[in-house]
Amino acid sequence: MRRKAFATAALVALGLAGPLSADPVDDKLIVNGETELVTHTKAPDYIDGLDEIWSGWAFRAAETRAIEADDFDNPGMIFVEDAEAVWNRVEGGAGKSCASCHGDPSSMKGVRTVMPKYNEKAGDLWSLEDYINDCRVNRMQAEAWGWNDKDMVNMTALISVQSRGMPMNVAIDGPAKPYWEKGREMYYTRTGQLELSCANCHEDHYGDMIRADHLSQGQINGFPTYRLKNAKLNSIHARFKGCVRDTRAATYKPGSPEFHALELYVASRGNGLSVEGVAVRN
Amino acid sequence: MKSRALWGIALAVGMAGAAGAAERGPVTYAADINFAEDGSVAESLTGKPGNPENGAQVLAQKKIGNCIACHQVTALKDYPFHGEIGPSLDGVGSRYSEAQLRGILVDAKKTFEGSMMPSFFKTGGFIRPGIGFTGKPAKEPLPPLLTAEQIEDAVAFLMTLKDE
């Protein structure tokens, strides 16, 4: 970031500035012309490396930003509709659907803003996916979904949409603290043969181009995200896995204790940004 | 930017014992290297001069050095998408000696402490090394990111980037 002004000036001088847009765009994200989302705000004070936080939305091209602003254009919303059907579908030995106990999906309002969180009964940090599988296995007597199964990722989208516009607000103290600290350590550890940490790219160089990619802060308030690249919804842990792999490192598994801890830490870096409820990214 | 990178390293090292995530073996290179105090490497890794045309490919190709992922280079403007993580390499042949450029390519962290630039000739001393981009765990020593010949070719190319 420090170098950015210089680099941009140099590119302008060379006449290369056209397609490279270095800064995040300070534009408003108003979904369906009615719900205004917070995509840029002050960083939480426990994050030393950032003054301001930005949603990944602000780093995408104008066309991509526009798709997210309208649910009719947002292909991610089709998967939310699929999940709505699954929400009402009776499955498993108990003969129940999600709706049997939870009623309308709108009962999930606010749930996404505090995930992941410490679960007293389990004595562990749980992500949204863990809560869903707990209900499937122990309350419906149905089979657990895999972390990145289509039904699972779509269901996390349906639940996230209910919190659209609400600020992310995960707890980092109390029993969550050791997880948060482990996540922070991971965030700053330079892994793989390329020896890169999350912070190298998403803290020190957000706003900069790395080859054809415009680096964001790697925030997760928009997840699950619809990616134009693979035309489906992508989970938080799948995204982490991709970024770790790209440092030529051995990755962790989606659903692993390591990715739970990292999820909590990364989520806390975005406390204050709105839940987007199916973000669109490239 | 630097202070932050250093802090990251300090944190990783300091906590290595606690979490076990940051364990690493000894630092090794693909050959014996004599770094001077300033991080430069005087002797050619191959014993002969590099080929600057091949060196241009090392910088430009994603599958080889992929240097333009992070650097802008006017001489390579026919290749799309130059990044802005590091400084422009225009004129580096005037700013640095051949030995300094070789040192930067062998292990940039010996010249620029805590640099984000990868250590292209390093084969060991990584945290959770993987097999290429597969995400699978790898055993050290790894093949270096660039061979001795590719490094000499890149150095030869960089030496052609003179101030006008």
Q: Give just the sign of the alpha carbon dihedral A105, A108, A110, A112.
A: negative
Q: Which two tokens stand for residue B44?
A: 């050619």
- From the list B84, B116, B128, the residue facing A4 with the nearest CB is B84
Best mutation target, A1, A21, A189, to test chain B (most B CBs within 10 A)? A189
Give Cα separations from A199 to A188, B21, B71 (angstroms).
6, 16, 19
Global ipTM: 0.89
SS3 call for A29: strand
Q: Is pLDDT at A14 greater than 70 in this prediction?
A: no
Q: Which two tokens stand for residue B96?
A: 């640095």
Looking at residue A270, its pLDDT comes to 98
Looking at residue A26, its pLDDT comes to 85
Looking at residue A188, its pLDDT comes to 98
Q: What one-letter code names the amino acid at A24?
A: P
Q: Is pLDDT at B21 greater than 80 in this prediction?
A: no
Question: In angstroms, rounded to a whole number, what is the distance separating the alpha carbons of residues A56 and A50?
Answer: 15
Give Cα separations from A27 to A87, A219, A269, B82 (angstroms).
35, 17, 21, 26
User: What CATH number does domain B26-160 carry, 3.90.79.10, 3.40.920.10, 1.10.760.10, 3.40.50.10950?
Assistant: 1.10.760.10
A163: closest CA among A242, A107, A102?
Answer: A107
Instruction: Check: CB of residue A53 under 8 Å from CB of residue A273.
Output: yes
Residues of A within 8 A of B126 (CB-CB) are: 191-193, 195, 249
The string of pLDDT tens digits covering residues A57-89 is: 999 999 999 999 999 999 999 999 999 999 999
Residue A8 banded pLDDT, cuts 50, 70, 90: very low
Q: Which two tokens stand for residue A278?
A: 């199916």
* For range A83-104, the mean pLDDT: 98
Q: Is pLDDT at B12 greater than 90 in this prediction?
A: no
Residues paired with A54 in a beta bridge: A40
SS3 call for A183: helix
Give the least confident one: A14-23, A241-250, A263-272, B23-32: A14-23
Q: Is pLDDT at A233 greater than 60 in this prediction?
A: yes
Q: What does pLDDT average to over chain B?
A: 90
The string of pLDDT tens digits covering residues A236-280 is: 999 999 999 999 999 999 999 999 999 999 999 999 999 999 999
Give the least confident one: A23-32, A80-89, B13-22: B13-22
Q: What is the CA radius of gyration of chain B?
A: 16
Q: What is the DSSP string of A39-66?
A: -EEEPPTT-TT-SEEE-GGGGS-HHHHH
Residue B20 banded pLDDT, cuts 50, 70, 90: very low
Looking at residue A96, its pLDDT comes to 98
Q: From B134, which residue of chain A is nearest by alpha-carbon distance?
A: A245
pTM of the model: 0.93
The string of pLDDT tens digits covering residues A160-183 is: 999 999 999 999 999 999 999 999
Looking at residue A23, its pLDDT comes to 82
Residue A109 banded pLDDT, cuts 50, 70, 90: very high
Looking at residue B22, its pLDDT comes to 64
Looking at residue A94, its pLDDT comes to 98
Which of the pair, B75 or A20, is modelled with greater confidence? B75
The string of pLDDT tens digits covering residues A216-230 is: 999 999 999 999 999
A243 annotated active-site? yes
Looking at residue A223, its pLDDT comes to 98
Q: Is pLDDT at A20 greater than 90 in this prediction?
A: no
Are A193 and B130 in contact (CB < 8 Å)? yes
Q: What is the DSSP string of A125-178?
A: EE-HHHHHHHIIIIIS--PPPPTT-HHHHHHHHHHHHTTTTSBP----SGGGHH
* For range A20-32, the mean pLDDT: 83
Domain spans of chain B, in order of start: 26-160
H-run or E-run covering A104: none
Are B128 and A182 in contact (CB < 8 Å)? no
Q: What percent of chain A has pLDDT over 70?
A: 92
Outline where chain B has alpha helix (H).
2-14, 16-19, 52-60, 92-95, 98-106, 148-159
- From the list A10, A247, A258, the residue facing B72 with the nearest CB is A10
Residue B164 banded pLDDT, cuts 50, 70, 90: confident
Give the least confident one: A192-206, B18-32, B136-150: B18-32
The string of pLDDT tens digits covering residues A154-163 is: 999 999 999 9
Q: What percent of chain A has pLDDT over 90?
A: 91
Least Cα separation, residue A182 to chain B (angstroms): 7
